[in-house]
């Protein structure tokens, strides 16, 4: 990490702001696939157009990732402290 962050403050700032974004980008396809497998067949029977099914799953995936990132930020502040 010293190659990318010579300053310790820049490293801490990245860990606070950038790491949740990396987490969200990495896990969104996984959440998408789980929701598509679980909710896809049910939504296909309810909604007549497959584009609506994809839209609903995309919105649910984004909402799930926003909630997970917020949860991990809250837990991270509790574990590592507000001034860490």
Task: Give CA–CA dist 84/78, Å, rounded.
Answer: 10
Per-residue confidence (pLDDT) for residue 56, from 0 to 100: 96
Q: Take residue 30 and report the two structure tokens written for it.
A: 């996984």
pLDDT of residue 84 exceeding 60, the answer is no
Residues with Cβ within 8 Å of 61's Cβ and at least 6 positions away in sequence, in order, are 28, 31, 32, 35
Delimit the domains of the chain by residue range.
24-33+47-72
Model confidence at 38, pLDDT cuts 50, 70, 90, reads very high
**Model confidence, pTM:** 0.72
């Amino acid at each position: 990490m010293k190659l990318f962050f010579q300053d310790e403050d820049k490293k801490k700032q990245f860990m606070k702001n950038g790491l949740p974004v990396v987490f969200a980008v990495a896990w969104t396809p996984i959440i998408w696939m789980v929701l598509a497998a679980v909710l896809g067949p049910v939504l296909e029977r309810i909604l007549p157009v497959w584009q609506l099914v994809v839209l609903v799953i995309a919105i649910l995936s984004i909402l799930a990732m926003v909630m997970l990132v917020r949860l991990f930020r809250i837990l991270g502040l509790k574990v590592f402290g507000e001034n860490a």
